[in-house]
Amino acid sequence: MSDRPNILFLHVDQMHWDAVSAYGNPYVKTPAVDRIIADGCNFRASYSANPVCCPARGSWYTGRMSCENGQINNGPYPLRADLPDLGAWLRDKGDYETAYSGKWHVSRKIPDSFRQIYGQGESKGEIFDPAIGRAAIGYLDNYDSDKPFFLNVGFVNPHDCCYTSGAAGGEGKFLYDEEAIEEMPPIPENFYVHLGISQPKDPGKERYFRYYIYTYYRWMEMVDAEIGRVYDALMGSRFAENTVVIFSSDHGDGLGFHGQVSKSKMEDPSWRVPTVVVTPERQRAGEADHEHLSIALDVTATICDYAQVPLLPKTIGKSLRPLMEGQADVDWHEYIVGENWQSDGKMAVRDAQYKTILYGDGLINLFDMLHDPMEMKDLSKTDAGRAVVKKHLSYLQEHLARIEPYAPPNPTKKQPAYTVCQALFSKIEKGEVAV
């Protein structure tokens, strides 16, 4: 038997970082995710590399920012063929049996890197998540190799929130479901503040969002049930003593915060994600780590670290393993950077206290995340705020110097995100961002 641990990478799709009952959210019950959180350390200041499905996943599997790996947005943005991915890396460098069940959404065929035990090309959770879970359970139940396994389970929900019924226009939908539902959650306190700007009241929108939040939490519970079956099957098996579990989400969801749903934004509901690491020794069990800022590339580095293989080439990700082991003086991120290339594009810098969001159209927001975690008061126009933004712009320049942005030689008209990305990078590198 190998001395390398098995690794179970469980992820969900579009999970708001706080859509769990473990920390007291009374509107959702997630006993399975709560158990994972109780067994491991939840890195609460974790963020997606690019909060949209394809680029977020491309970053997980290459360990590189989406602007580096080519898969910069959903749609016709293929991964660079020369980059290795996590499945093939563990298989080739660590002699792992790699298996994949679930939603993939990376522009590379699953069988190139994993045994595809139940692939899923469609982002629909209600219909496919139970089968994704059952395939994973079956894989565990039958596994008899001497090699360690890297089992990657990609659930879809709560992503079904993208296909909710049309309550915005639906009096009927509302009347009917309000009769079926005992209580709908309230709107968030920052519902009428977006981009640091107050928005007009809209009772119809409130009703829609309350129903949206209600159903979102049901989708979350639905996938929680499947997560629980896989997690408990693992923990009830002989693999419990030598398997590291990592749980995360590709990105978040607006969930009514700032009056928004969906992703692609750099405000916390969209950008921030849960990241939990459970070790066989139950290191830091039940701890919530708010101190260490983490980006999705760290998940990749962590998996490589536990698998005892080199980190993926040229990654800026850092392994969470030393933090799990309580090592002193860990060289950690002073700040993290996220990006998104929809519309005019945007980048965000998050340090211990502040977050700057830099939009491609010139808008800048600055939030004090310690004193204003709901991101309601834009400080970018204050003297102190300008100083912070300038510091963050220098961080961005430093970040761009550390990575290797990819510029395809001839982007097509169907690939505008490449141009959007390069335009914003150029402004940052030349110091042309007006503060």
> Which residues here bind another protein, judged by CB under 8 A?
29, 101, 116-122, 124, 126-128, 130-131, 134-143, 160-177, 179-182, 204-205, 208-209, 212, 215, 218-219, 221-222, 224-226, 229, 232-238, 261-262
The strand pairing partners of 368, in sequence order, are 354
Q: Shortest Cβ distance from residue 117 to another protein (Å)?
A: 5
Residues 59/65, Cβ–Cβ less than 8 Å: yes
User: What letter does residue 281 receive in the DSSP assignment?
Assistant: T
Residues 242/174, Cβ–Cβ less than 8 Å: no
Q: Shortest Cβ distance from residue 407 to another protein (Å)?
A: 28
Q: Shortest Cβ distance from residue 418 to another protein (Å)?
A: 21
Q: Shortest Cβ distance from residue 305 to another protein (Å)?
A: 27
- Determine phi and psi for 256, rounding to 5 degrees: 85, -15
Buried b (16+ CB within 10 A) or exposed e, 56-93: bbbbbbbbbbbbbbbbbbeeebbbeeebebbbebbbee
Q: Which is nearer to another protein, 261 or 311 (CB)?
A: 261
Burial of 273 (0-12, 13-18, 19+ CB in 10 A): buried
Q: Which is nearer to another protein, 6 or 215 (CB)?
A: 215
Burial of 288 (0-12, 13-18, 19+ CB in 10 A): middle
Cα 41 to Cα 324: distance, rounded to the nearest angstrom: 7
Q: Which is nearer to another protein, 63 or 119 (CB)?
A: 119
Q: Shortest Cβ distance from residue 13 to another protein (Å)?
A: 13
Q: Which is nearer to another protein, 136 or 336 (CB)?
A: 136
Q: Which is nearer to another protein, 169 or 286 (CB)?
A: 169
Q: Shortest Cβ distance from residue 68 to another protein (Å)?
A: 26
Q: Which is nearer to another protein, 224 or 289 (CB)?
A: 224
